[in-house]
């Protein structure tokens, strides 16, 4: 029997509830179900529903959309959500994930002024990871910049690959803001890459979170690499739609992001066919999933998502144009993970 032309990994495509800001957590479930996402990632923030396990379970059951990940309340605006103690926040995020059937808790590295928390963070995350089947996937961040000044706001480091964690989250918008090479960061994460926040960026000092394909980040290249390597985590669309002029415009952006992700998350079955397959993909015209309220994608995009916005950087900036067609990825071999 001939090999299939393409293969699609087991990775599910989820919608971050932050992607519908300023709309509510409940609206995110409704949109995710209508557009055909595989699940949602709940951003725990100031919306009371995002903090309420029973309310989240009812939304999941009503819309028949699973909760795949929980983003712990690590932002400046969530300092008092689920306690002021950062370890208590992580314990509650783990408990929420376990009760809701989510496989991953996304966590940011500490702020530098959280000295004791930062000092114990790496060993503490290992300890918590040993106590559960839920993945604690630590997310890459970025330096804060203002004009020609740079502030290192995170400890032990904004580049989480410099420390030893069991699982990582790669966020391409954060890599763009850090002006880091996202694919080199993925190489360093190797087989401990457990979670993806998919969004684009143009290298601005502001955390842009553009719809994939509208910036300069290797969104397509990363997705195709994940397909080639059999990635078994989740790909989460975490984009900003807060400047959408209507609900239809917001849904069009989220439909476009989903179509882009599904298109490039299919990979040639053999590396030798990558070039011809990539040409075929680029020639295709991805259509957004059917939606009763969907509208054609707007020409301009918005910037960083509301509840997960910059954590201290300056305000959003609009991109000047969409990027050109993405390049086809080279073959990729995962190095062995470091031992504890």
Cα–Cα nearest to 209, from 217, 201, 218 = 201
- Beta strands 167-171 and 193-198 are parallel
Nearest Cα to 20, choosing from 55, 49, 53, 57?
49
Those residues with Cβ within 8 angstroms of residue 101's Cβ, 6 or more apart along the chain or in another chain: 66, 67
What pLDDT, in 10s, does the model give residues 118-159? 999 999 999 999 999 999 999 999 999 877 788 889 999 999
Give the residue from 69, 333, 326, 310 showing the smallest Cα distance to 186.
Answer: 333
Confirm if 37 and 29 have CB atoms less than 8 A apart.
no
Local structure of 182: helix, strand or coil: helix
Q: Which residues of 173-206 are buried (b: 16+ CB within 10 A; e: fewer)?
A: bbbbbbebebbebbbebbebbbbbbbbbbbebbb
Q: Please tell me which of 3-12, 78-87, 145-154 the model is most confident about, judged by mean pLDDT.
A: 78-87
Q: What is the pLDDT of residues 245-297, one digit of tens each?
A: 999 999 999 999 999 999 999 865 544 333 433 333 343 334 444 444 333 33
What's this model's pTM, rounded to 2 decimal places? 0.78
3-class DSSP state for residue 223? helix
Q: Per residue in 218-258, pLDDT tens?
A: 999 999 999 988 898 999 999 999 999 999 999 999 999 99
Q: Give Cβ neighbours of residue 299 (< 8 Å, ≥ 6 apart).
A: none
Q: φ and ψ at 227, to 5 degrees? A: -65, -40
* Contact (CB, 8 A) for 132 and 98: yes
């Amino acid at each position: 029997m001939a090999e299939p032309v393409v293969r699609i990994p087991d990775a599910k495509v989820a919608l971050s509830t932050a992607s519908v800001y300023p709309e509510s957590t409940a609206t995110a479930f409704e949109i995710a179900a209508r557009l055909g996402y595989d699940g949602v990632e709940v951003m725990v923030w100031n919306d009371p529903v995002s903090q309420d396990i029973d309310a989240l379970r009812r939304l999941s059951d009503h819309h028949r959309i699973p909760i795949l990940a929980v983003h712990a309340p690590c932002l400046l605006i969530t300092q008092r959500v689920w306690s002021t103690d950062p370890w208590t926040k992580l314990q509650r995020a783990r408990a929420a994930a376990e009760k809701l059937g989510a496989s991953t808790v996304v966590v940011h590295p500490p702020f530098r002024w959280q000295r004791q928390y930062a000092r114990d963070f790496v060993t503490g995350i290992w300890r918590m990871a040993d106590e559960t089947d839920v993945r604690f996937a630590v997310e890459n961040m970025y330096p804060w910049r203002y004009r020609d000044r740079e502030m290192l706001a995170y400890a032990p480091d904004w580049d989480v690959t410099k420390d030893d964690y069991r699982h990582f989250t790669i966020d391409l918008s954060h890599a763009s803001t850090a002006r880091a090479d996202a694919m080199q960061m993925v190489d360093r994460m190797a087989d401990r890459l457990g979670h993806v926040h998919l969004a684009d960026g143009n290298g601005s000092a502001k955390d842009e979170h553009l719809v994939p394909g509208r910036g300069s980040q290797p969104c397509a290249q990363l997705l195709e690499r994940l397909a080639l390597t059999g990635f078994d985590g989740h790909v989460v669309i975490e984009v900003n739609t807060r400047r959408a002029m209507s609900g239809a415009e917001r849904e069009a952006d989220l439909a476009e992001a989903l179509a882009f992700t599904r298109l490039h998350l299919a990979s040639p079955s053999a590396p030798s066919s990558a070039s011809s397959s990539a040409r075929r993909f680029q020639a295709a015209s991805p259509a957004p999933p059917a939606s009763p309220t969907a509208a054609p994608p707007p020409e301009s995009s918005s910037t960083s998502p509301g509840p997960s916005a910059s954590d201290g950087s300056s305000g959003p900036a609009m991109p000047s144009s969409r990027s050109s067609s993405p390049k086809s990825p080279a073959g990729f071999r995962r190095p062995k993970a470091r031992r504890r």
